[in-house]
Amino acid sequence: MAAREPGVVEVSGGAGELVLMWAGFPLLGAGLGAALTAAAGWLVDLPWFPFQGWFALLTRLPGQRAYLAGAGVAAVVGLLTAYVGTRERLHVSVDPTEVRLRRDGHRRVVARSGVAGVLLDGKALVLLAADGRELAREKSDLDARRLRPAFTAQGWPWLAQDPHRAAYRRWVPGLPELTGGADVLLGARQRAVEHGRGTEADELRAELARLGVVVRDERKRQYWRLVPRPADRGGPGG
């Protein structure tokens, strides 16, 4: 955690995390690749083991070239993993009037005036409005030891737990409370969650929020609750 400009506190994984990813992942990959290359002759006889074609190729290469190929390809995979991890890091900038959330080139700004509470829900940073809506939910590896002082030092209300936790129910298809398309959206989002389509799941979460439905995930299961809305906007059934 560090102050980058007057009145602003920034929280991110820091330089140490970048070094770990960009140096550690390729080295770990190279080591694993060399170990798998050494076992290629055994692995190629296991039909259930993935990448059989690759291991068969390694067994046909001369020893030194096989180790270079196996370690080199695995190191490149480590570099790609580091690249994805770097883009997926969440950067949080807090000042007394707003919080800026940045990830993968996208930026989101939430004004302090609309926030009734800030908390961590598992690995997600959540900003709550007074009526129970979620103004933001961003996954990250940042923990409360770094996030809590950044917010409280700027006068933001930090919550030890979600005050609406007891209101969540597990989603199953066909619930009568979820009308007006909410049940269909949750069904589509369940498929996106199960298949790891994170961007699609986030888009469907936003659509559900417009219907007054808040969603949280736990082990690829969806849990939902309703948010009271002004009468002129109607309920989730519209």
- Tens digits of residue pLDDT in 91-121: 999 999 999 999 887 899 999 999 999 999 9
Domain boundary among 87, 109, 136: 87
Domain boundary among 138, 163, 188: 163
Range of the domain at 60: 14-87
* DSSP-derived secondary structure for 16-81: HHHHIIIIIHHHHHHHHHHHHHHTHHHHTT-TTSS-HHHHHHHHHS-HHHHHHHHHHHHHHHHHHH
- pLDDT grade for 81, boundaries at 50, 70 and 90: confident
- Tens digits of residue pLDDT in 152-183: 999 999 999 999 999 999 999 999 989 879 99
List all residues 6 or more positions away from 125 whose beta carbon is below 8 Å from its beta carbon.
Answer: 90, 92, 101, 118, 119, 136, 137, 138, 139, 140, 142, 147
In a domain? residue 171: yes
Output the pTM of the full model: 0.75
189 and 159 part of one domain:
no
Determine the average pLDDT of the residues in 78-84.
Answer: 84
Structure tokens belonging to residue 226: 């309703």
- 45, pLDDT greater than 70: yes
Q: Residue 231: its pLDDT value, please?
A: 46
Count of domains forming the chain = 3
Determine the average pLDDT of the residues in 124-135.
Answer: 95
155 and 173 part of one domain:
no
- 16, pLDDT greater than 90: no
In a domain? residue 169: yes
Greater pLDDT, 140 or 215: 215
In a domain? residue 1: no
In a domain? residue 231: yes
CATH number of the structural domain spanning residue 132? 3.30.720
